[in-house]
Amino acid sequence: MSRRPGFVLEVDKSTPPTLFWSGETFGLETLPEGSRVIYAPEPMKAIEDPYRAIRHALLHPEGDRDPLPALLRPGMKLTICFDDVSLPLPPMEAPDIRQMVIETVLDMAAEAGVDDVELIAALALHRRMTEEELRHALGDRVYDAFAPHGLLTQHDAEDPDNLLFIGETDQGEEVEINKRAATSDLLVYVNINLVSMDGGHKSVATGLASYRSLRHHHNPQTMRHSKSFMDQPASELHSANWRMGRLIAESGVKIFQIETTLNNDTFPSNFGFLQKREWEWSLRDRASYAAASKALSKVPPRMARQIFHSIRSPHALTSVQAGEVEAVHALTTANVWAQQGVDVEGQTDILTMGLPYICPYNVNSIMNPILVACLGLGYFFNMYRGKPLVREGGVVIMKHPTRPEFHPGHHPSYIDFYEQVLTQTIDPVQMHKEFEESFATDPWYVHLYRTGHAYHGVHPFYMWYWCAHAMAHLGRVIVVGGDPKAVRRLGFSPASSLNDALEIASDVVGPSPTLTHMHNPPIFMSDVH
Amino acid sequence: MAGSGLRGRLRAARFPLAAPSWPTTVERPDPERRIGLDYDHDWSRRYPVRLARAVVMDNLARPAARLLAPATVRGLEHLQHVEGPVIFAANHLSHLDTPLLLTTLPVEFRHRTVVAAASDYFFDRTWKAVLSSFTLATIPIERSRVNRKSGDTAAELIEDGWNLVIFPEGGRSPDGWTQPFTAGAAYLARRTGRPVVPVYLHGTRHVQPKSAESEGRAPGGSGTESRRSSRVRRSPIAVLFGSPLYPDEGENTHRFSDRVEAAVATLSREVHSDWWQARRSVSAVAPVEGATTAHRGPVASPWRRAWALDEPPSRDRASEWPD
């Protein structure tokens, strides 16, 4: 059967209840008649021989770039950078696509006799990856060949000795990136483009940048004017990265960009019901749902978290393109939309979403309340092109337990942000002015970022800014099933059930609102007309 | 009562315990039917199914075949020194051909043999697909041409050690003469490097003839004839195995297929004579340029073709003849 496109269901009397994620569990909710449910397109067909496709892409580059072997020569300095643990979601089954691409690049480098090769995880201000995570992303063969010799490193945005100031854009944005990457004869960047925001000039301009550079676009003004992050022409974040990327290119840094797209085959077969339309659930799906939801409701959240974070997604490669950054990214973006785009007619008064257990910043970690806000308002809300799914002044209802739990090793500054900043203000602009710098330059957070596995001190601010557009757009945000105190700390309204939430929402949108539910994951992006 | 309570609870069960209802705004698609070439027949080669099939074949089919259609079998010695897997290429006269051939095979071949069966006939309904896969270990092929998917499936099975029975005519003969062979058997032999064993089946069309309906023609005459013609009758039958044939170096698929067809035709001449007479009659034809050794019959009217077939009438038919 051919792949079915995305689908907007109109709920009627015969519609079975709809799946809602809620952190490390899920449940079924009955939506009011007339509501809409948006389902993702079915997964695109995987490329049968990924290694062959990768090799073909490297030999037939896009834009003004020679084939990769022609760019490699003995005595040159080659740096290969790659996306970090935040991609893809959930982590994919081995072999990871980064491993396949980097092995192919290294084969070519070895054939050309290139000795000076270094690999850098492009972390920006994210936490450093563990050895296990690096081995999963790169494979043992690559890890064992480079890591023991100090040739596999992770970008350190706080290492003054390994940062190079490139210059300023015409808008006065300072550009400072990893020195090794900037001074290489060739910088190969290996991307996983899970959503249309990923890749392009953002890879180097953000992934290898310092706080000095990142603050020019990771701020409330830029985020509020990115409508949305996924709609490149309408994204100020995109524009800022493009200005910086072009400056980097003009400065002489030669980048060979490799971008890959994956299909949205998100869950393994035993969790297959999570990505199916409910009325098509088979007996096995229903039994799996019943068993999983019952079991998850009985086990402690910590164990449920371990179960979910052990899921490896069967994501498969759907395209790979290489060459000059902008030419490559245009193709990649089209391929991402081909997998994820869903046409939706008109906006809604209430947008509902069940938030799953994972976002880019809590892989193998805890989804704390700030990340809950970021996933719902920063990511799900922004998964649109054209207009937001919910009208201005509308309501977002999220379902998530929103427990005030934090991973002390991964998110130390989040704890202080939650206790010291959110108790003072939830206004992104005010916290940007009053608190950001002290967190960003705190030596303890810098130390934990550089030597442990902690996100940078400023990172919780960025997560909050990520919500700025939604916060300015929405009339109210309601969290169903969340810890009331934590939900109120975020500035949202707690509700014990979906019906309660709809009751609360009626104060804002009236008694007969329209409602749309995002059946996400699998990821989709709405083309709202 | 507990029972009625349970039934009541089951009736009252809602999704996900009960099956989901279908939204009225969503068009309900036809249930996916994996039949024809797409039929998944892997199950029919799993050990429990093979065991069950072997029990049925050895304890029911073989005795029934001996009783209903006692067969004269010649040429089994050709299989003694050939190592499997092999491709059995036979002429095709009746639905009985497959069970007859399978029950005739030596035991080392019998239970590890699959049968290439027309996907449009044996796999057009799920029940037919299940029945034929279980009883005869059939796999679907497209009969009119070498289809890539069916070719791949058959080749993989041969490479996996399975013998293959194939009827290269692509269907049962309408009049007893052999129809031109398609190149399927020859193609698989060249692809897998395994030999083709030619097989000639004789007389099965009298035991269970091909009915007019199954040929896709309107039944002629009164209709009684067509019903009678599909009736199973006792009749002497024969199964003749030839020596294994390997493609020669540089021999293309079509030439090899012609050679297989000629070998089956030679076997057909052995039915009423012996090996030597059959060879001699072939040799008498072969040196003449353009002459065919195939078992095709004269290009003439149907009755002359039937006459030229030179088959002795079955005892049942003879008894039907008016005194």
Q: Per residue in A131-158, pLDDT tens?
A: 999 999 999 999 999 999 999 999 999 9
Mutate to test the interface with A, among B10, B24, B26, B32 (most CBs of A within 10 A): B26
Q: What does the CA dihedral A11, A13, A14, A16 come to, rounded to 10 degrees?
A: 60
The chain A residues in contact with chain B (CB within 8 A) are: 1, 9-17, 28, 278-281, 283, 285-286, 289-290
Examine the domain organization and report whether A118 and A13 are in the same domain: no
Final residue of a structural domain among A237, A262, A287 = A262
- Tell me the CA distances in angstroms from A439 to A373, A406, A433, one per residue in order: 20, 17, 12
Examine the domain organization and report whether A30 and A105 are in the same domain: no
Residue B291: is its pLDDT beyond 50?
Answer: no
Q: Per the CB < 8 Å rule, is A9 touching B23?
A: yes
For residue A349, the one-letter residue type is D
Taken in order B320, B321, B322, B323, the sign of the CA dihedral is negative
pLDDT in the model for residue B271? 76
Separation CA A434–CA A517 (nearest Å): 37
pLDDT in the model for residue B66? 79
To the nearest whole number, what is the mean pLDDT of chain A? 96
Examine the domain organization and report whether A144 and A78 are in the same domain: yes
Provide the pLDDT confidence category of residue B61 given band limits of 50, 70 and 90.
Answer: confident
Residue A179: is its pLDDT beyond 90?
Answer: yes
- Tell me the CA distances in angstroms from B157 to B117, B137, B139, B151, B192, one per residue in order: 14, 12, 10, 10, 10
Separation CA A455–CA A374 (nearest Å): 15
Separation CA A281–CA A289 (nearest Å): 10
Higher pLDDT, B220 or A450: A450
What does the block give as tokens for B138? Answer: 């059939």
Separation CA B185–CA B263 (nearest Å): 13
CATH of the domain at A92: 3.40.50.11440
Q: Which of A9, A10, A279 sits opposite B20 (nearest CB)?
A: A279
Q: Looking at A24-28, A193-197, A359-363, B210-214, which range is the least confident one?
A: B210-214
Q: Which of B17, B23, B32 sits opposite A12 (nearest CB)?
A: B23
Closest residue of chain B to A36, computed from CA coordinates: B25
Examine the domain organization and report whether A220 and A369 are in the same domain: no
Examine the domain organization and report whether A400 and A498 are in the same domain: yes
pLDDT in the model for residue A418? 98
pLDDT for B180-204, tens place per residue?
898 899 999 999 999 999 999 998 8
Examine the domain organization and report whether A252 and A364 are in the same domain: no
Examine the domain organization and report whether A30 and A70 are in the same domain: no
Separation CA A158–CA A156 (nearest Å): 5
| Beta bridge partner(s), residue A26 | A21
pLDDT in the model for residue B214? 46
Residue B320: is its pLDDT beyond 60?
Answer: no
User: Which contiguous run of DSSP H or E holds residue B100?
Assistant: helix B97-104
Note whether A180 and A118 are within 8 A (CB).
Answer: yes
Examine the domain organization and report whether A405 and A460 are in the same domain: yes
Residue B313: is its pLDDT beyond 50?
Answer: no
B:49-78 residues touching chain A, CB 8 A cutoff: none
To the nearest whole number, what is the mean pLDDT of chain B? 79
Q: Which of A10, A17, A281 sits opposite B25 (nearest CB)?
A: A10
Taken in order A465, A466, A471, A477, the sign of the CA dihedral is negative
For the segment B241-255, the average pLDDT, to the nearest whole number, is 90
Provide the pLDDT confidence category of residue B226 given band limits of 50, 70 and 90.
Answer: very low
Q: Per the CB < 8 Å rule, is A286 touching B16?
A: yes
Q: Per the CB < 8 Å rule, is B20 touching A278?
A: yes
Size of interface A-B (CB pairs under 8 A): 45
pLDDT in the model for residue A353? 98
Give chain A positions within 8 Å (CB) of B25. 9-10, 12
Closest CA to A6 of A40, A29, A43, A30: A40
With an 8 Å Cβ cutoff, is B25 touching chain A? yes
Note whether B34 and B40 are within 8 A (CB).
Answer: yes
pLDDT for B4-28, tens place per residue?
566 666 566 789 988 898 898 888 8
Q: Does residue A174 belong to any structural domain of this protein?
A: yes
User: Which contiguous run of DSSP H or E holds residue A120?
Assistant: strand A116-122
pLDDT in the model for residue B321? 44
Q: Is omega for the bond preceding A61 within 30 degrees of 0, making it cis?
A: no
- Tell me the CA distances in angstroms from B4 to B1, B11, B12, B18, one per residue in order: 5, 10, 12, 17
With an 8 Å Cβ cutoff, is B16 touching chain A? yes
Residue B300: is its pLDDT beyond 80?
Answer: no
What does the block give as tokens for B303? Answer: 């009755």
Q: Is omega for the bond preceding A228 within 30 degrees of 0, making it cis?
A: yes
Q: Does residue A54 belong to any structural domain of this protein?
A: yes
Q: Does residue A408 belong to any structural domain of this protein?
A: yes
Separation CA A27–CA A17 (nearest Å): 9
Q: Per the CB < 8 Å rule, is B17 touching A10?
A: no
Q: Per the CB < 8 Å rule, is B20 touching A281?
A: yes
Q: Does residue A287 belong to any structural domain of this protein?
A: no
Final residue of a structural domain among A262, A287, A319 = A262
Q: Looking at A239-253, A349-363, A478-492, B99-113, which range is the least confident one?
A: B99-113
- Cα angle, residue A19 at apex, residues A13 and A21 outer, rounded to 5°: 150
Final residue of a structural domain among A201, A232, A262 = A262
pLDDT for A373-429, tens place per residue?
999 999 999 999 999 999 999 999 999 999 999 999 999 999 999 999 999 999 999
Q: Does residue A277 belong to any structural domain of this protein?
A: no
pLDDT in the model for residue B149? 81
Give chain A positions within 8 Å (CB) of B24. 12-14
Examine the domain organization and report whether A385 and A512 are in the same domain: yes
Q: Per the CB < 8 Å rule, is A15 touching B23?
A: yes
Q: Does residue A316 belong to any structural domain of this protein?
A: no
Q: Per the CB < 8 Å rule, is A28 touching B16?
A: yes
Examine the domain organization and report whether A478 and A455 are in the same domain: yes
* Count of structural domains within chain A: 2
Examine the domain organization and report whether A389 and A453 are in the same domain: yes
For the segment A454-459, the average pLDDT, to the nearest whole number, is 98
Separation CA A36–CA A349 (nearest Å): 11
For the segment B153-177, the average pLDDT, to the nearest whole number, is 91
Q: A425: domain range?
A: 7-43+341-528
User: Which contiguous run of DSSP H or E holds residue A328?
Assistant: helix A325-340
pLDDT in the model for residue B308? 65
Residue B148: is its pLDDT beyond 90?
Answer: no
CA distance A283 to chain B (A): 7
Note whether B91 and B239 are within 8 A (CB).
Answer: no
pLDDT in the model for residue B323? 38
CATH of the domain at A376: 3.90.226.30
Examine the domain organization and report whether A353 and A496 are in the same domain: yes
Q: Does residue A288 belong to any structural domain of this protein?
A: no
| Percent of all residues in chain B with a pLDDT value above 70, rounded to a whole number | 71
Q: Which of B16, B19, B32 sits opposite A1 (nearest CB)?
A: B32
pLDDT in the model for residue B229? 45
pTM over the 0.95 mark: no
Separation CA B138–CA B172 (nearest Å): 16
With an 8 Å Cβ cutoff, is B17 touching chain A? yes
Closest residue of chain B to A33, computed from CA coordinates: B23
Q: Does residue A350 belong to any structural domain of this protein?
A: yes
pLDDT for A70-92, tens place per residue?
999 999 999 999 999 999 999 99
